[in-house]
Amino acid sequence: MANVLTVENLSISFGSNDVLKSISFEVESNEILGVIGPNGAGKTVMLNILTGILKPSKGSIRFQGEDITHKTITERCHMGFGRTFQVPRSFEGMTVFENVIVGAVYGGGMPESKGRRKAFEILEMIGLVDKAEWFAGKLSLIDRKRLEIGRALASDPKLLLFDEVAGGLTETEVEKMLAIVRMIKNQGISIVWIEHVLQTMLEGTDKILCLAEGKVVLCGLPEAVMNSKEVSECYLGADEEC
Ligand SMILES: Nc1ncnc2c1ncn2[C@@H]1O[C@H](COP(=O)(O)OP(=O)(O)OP(=O)(O)O)[C@@H](O)[C@H]1O
Ligand SMILES: [Mg+2]
């Protein structure tokens, strides 16, 4: 299988804080890569580098074989990157439907008529069509997370980056979220998915990368990573510090 994303020796420091220390990994076509690790491991910073919000001090990122390390956020978006934010960023004073259209027209560069059709299809897929006319600010947590995904899908991405889309959800809601993620994968989209709920990662991913203190602890098949001594130790270590 071809690589969609190839990350090599990525590093970033904020002052004297070396947050990522030469991390490397790959995401294959149509693969879901789960990213786990204790608080402060560098997961969100890594996502922000992948989308172009932050610039790495070292290392490279290739997307479908092309070096995108120095491309802007907008260029990456037009090439096929989509993302959700750890704290949902929908426009609360706009309706659910309008929020997704904005993603299609401004994020995906689609004409409005196409954007409207696309938005409708997406709302059907993520289970928000009945709430299309609701203001985003009135949605429950799971529906806000659904809408985050909907906005990210609107620009027709090839690669989606999820930051805790299942965080704070009940078990039943997590199951619904897993079903949505599976549908997205079935459309041929690759996903990098940060999550703290380890059971969700075990059920919902093809491969897991564990980060701790800015380094890759392990990357491999979900069960092998979850059952490994190294990964248990990095979580235990984090608990002891708390
Ligand atoms: N813009 C920034 N400027 C300076 N330091 C930052 C910045 N963003 C993140 N950091 C630091 O980088 C480290 C990693 O943060 P990050 O948000 O990536 O952790 P995380 O793995 O996503 O944690 P969590 O699981 O709590 O979301 C932290 O020490 C944080 O304080
Ligand atoms: Mg984070």
Does any ligand 1 atom lie closer than 6 A to the CB of residue 45? yes
pLDDT at 240: 45
| Spacing, Cα 184 to ligand 1 middle (Å) | 28
Q: Do 51 and 76 meet the contact criterion of CB atoms below 8 Å apart?
A: yes
Residue 207, CA atoms < 13 Å, CB-side half-sphere: 16
Main-chain dihedrals φ then ψ at residue 183, nearest 5 degrees: -60, -40
For residue 83, the model assigns a pLDDT of 86
d(CA 44, CA 39): 10
Q: Looking at the predicted structure, is the pLDDT value of residue 242 above 50?
A: no
CATH class of 1-80+159-171+191-242: alpha beta
Give the ligand whose atoms come closest to the C-alpha of residue 85: 2
Given a cut of 70, whether residue 1 has pLDDT beyond it is no
- Report the C-alpha gap between 68 and 24 in whole angstroms: 15
Query: Which residue has better confidence, 88 or 212?
Result: 212
pLDDT at 122 over 70: yes
Residue 86 has pLDDT above 90, yes or no: no
Mean per-residue pLDDT over the chain, rounded? 92
Residue whose CB lies within 8 A of the most ligand 1 atoms, among 43, 48, 165, 210, for a mutation test: 43
Q: Of all atoms in ligand 1, which is nearest to the CA of residue 164?
A: 27
Reply yes or no on whether the pLDDT at 108 is more than 90. Answer: no
Instruction: For residues 149-171, give the mean pLDDT.
Output: 93
Quick: pLDDT tens for 213-241. Answer: 999 999 999 999 999 999 999 887 655 44
Does ligand 1 have an atom closer than 6 angstroms to the CB of 19?
A: yes
Q: For atom 31 of ligand 1, which residue has the closest CA? A: 40
Mean pLDDT of 36-47: 95
Contacts of 21 (CB under 8 A, 6+ apart): 11, 213, 214, 215
**Segments making up each domain of the chain, as ranges:** 1-80+159-171+191-242, 85-156
- Backbone phi, psi, residue 220, to 5°: 180, -160
Q: Is the CB of 167 under 6 A from ligand 1?
A: no
Q: State the pLDDT at residue 241.
A: 44
